């Protein structure tokens, strides 16, 4: 399958999908605090998507049973929200997708519940900064490796590792399109980025090693060594003027 370039009109619709994701993600962030049950977050998404005419992209995707992924502490991605209670000091990664007028928006954020340790706070901050380094590098004429390297360099300079087994992706009518967007790589290498590409950049940073393992639920991905992990994601369009972030309120 070739890369599907999007027209300015299609990017406008994707901005609407992205806005919905961002607005609802913001509500989830406001809801995260010690004592909250994960499943309540899934309920918020169902209610708010209904009100906005959006459908939850993740629900039923390869059988995924919820509208949002909730991944805590050493969990990296794809945690299923259940009866677990969020506790003081947890770091909570929230990953959310919306389908609206046939297009998908995808975004993730990591937040602390109550007071978190200095290490957790720094992991969250550096992961978000790494995402923005990648976004700034995503312009026409640059190569995929420039984006990957911008993310990796910032992470590793700050003493964190980047997950290799899960990567960002092209996005459009489908959540996962070509090309893959690795969070590690070499500058000036790889695919040339072009106007009309829409990509989901999603660095996952660990305090320890980058290796991962999967739980028996076949979804939850966590660090192999038990270290902490944070995840940030935005859906962006590459335009002639540079990157435009679609998953903002
Ligand atoms: N945002 C994620 C991704 O791009 C999560 C999707 S996994 C799902 O892969 F199964 F929950 F949909
Ligand atoms: Co994604």
Q: Tell whether pTM > 0.95.
A: yes
Q: Catalogue all structural domains in the chain, each as residue range(s) with its CATH number.
A: 8-245 (3.90.230.10)
Residues with CB under 6 A from ligand 1: 58, 61-62, 64, 69, 78, 95, 97, 106, 169, 200
Task: Specify the ligand 1 atom closest to the Cα of 166.
Answer: 9
Interacting residues of 207 by C-beta distance below 8 A, sequence separation 6+: 119, 123, 160, 227, 228, 229
CA of 87 to the centre of ligand 2 (A): 26
Closest CA to 218 of 31, 78, 121, 98: 78
Predicted confidence (pLDDT) per residue in 92-133, tens digit: 999 999 999 999 999 999 999 999 999 999 999 999 999 999
Predicted confidence (pLDDT) per residue in 233-242, tens digit: 999 999 999 9
CA of 193 to the centre of ligand 1 (A): 23
CA of 153 to the centre of ligand 1 (A): 25
Q: For ligand 1, atom 8, name the residue with the nearest CA.
A: 58
Task: Specify the ligand 1 atom closest to the Cα of 95.
Answer: 1
CA 202 to chain centre: 4
The chain-wide mean pLDDT, for the chain, equals: 98
Task: Specify the ligand 1 atom closest to the Cα of 108.
Answer: 1
Give me 143's structure tokens: 């190569």
CA of 144 to the centre of ligand 1 (A): 21
At 82 the pLDDT is 98
DSSP state at residue 233: B
CA 7 to chain centre: 23
β-strand partners of 162: 205
CA of 219 to the centre of ligand 1 (A): 10
At 55 the pLDDT is 98
Task: Specify the ligand 1 atom closest to the Cα of 97.
Answer: 1
């Amino acid at each position: 399958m070739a890369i599907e370039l999007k027209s300015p009109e299609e990017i406008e619709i994707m901005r609407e999908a992205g806005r919905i994701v961002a607005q609802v993600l913001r509500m989830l962030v406001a809801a995260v605090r010690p004592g909250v049950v994960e499943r309540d977050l899934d309920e918020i998404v169902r209610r708010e998507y209904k009100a906005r005419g959006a459908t939850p992209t993740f629900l039923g995707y390869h059988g995924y049973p919820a509208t949002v992924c909730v991944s805590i502490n050493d969990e990296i991605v794809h945690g299923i929200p259940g009866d677990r209670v969020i506790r003081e000091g947890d770091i909570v990664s929230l990953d959310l997708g919306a389908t609206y007028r046939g297009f998908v928006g995808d975004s993730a954020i990591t937040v602390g519940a109550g007071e978190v340790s200095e290490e957790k706070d720094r992991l969250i901050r550096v992961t978000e900064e790494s995402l923005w380094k990648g976004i700034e590098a995503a312009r026409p004429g640059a190569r995929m490796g420039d984006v990957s390297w911008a993310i990796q360099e910032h992470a590793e300079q700050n003493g964190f590792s980047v997950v290799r087994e899960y990567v960002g992706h092209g996005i459009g009518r489908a959540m996962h399109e070509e090309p893959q967007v690795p969070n590690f790589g070499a500058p000036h290498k790889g695919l040339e980025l072009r106007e009309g590409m829409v990509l989901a950049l999603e660095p996952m940073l660990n305090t320890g090693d980058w290796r991962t393992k999967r739980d028996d639920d076949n979804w939850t991905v966590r660090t192999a060594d038990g270290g902490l992990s944070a995840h940030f994601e935005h859906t962006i369009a590459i335009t002639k003027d540079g990157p435009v972030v679609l998953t903002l309120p």
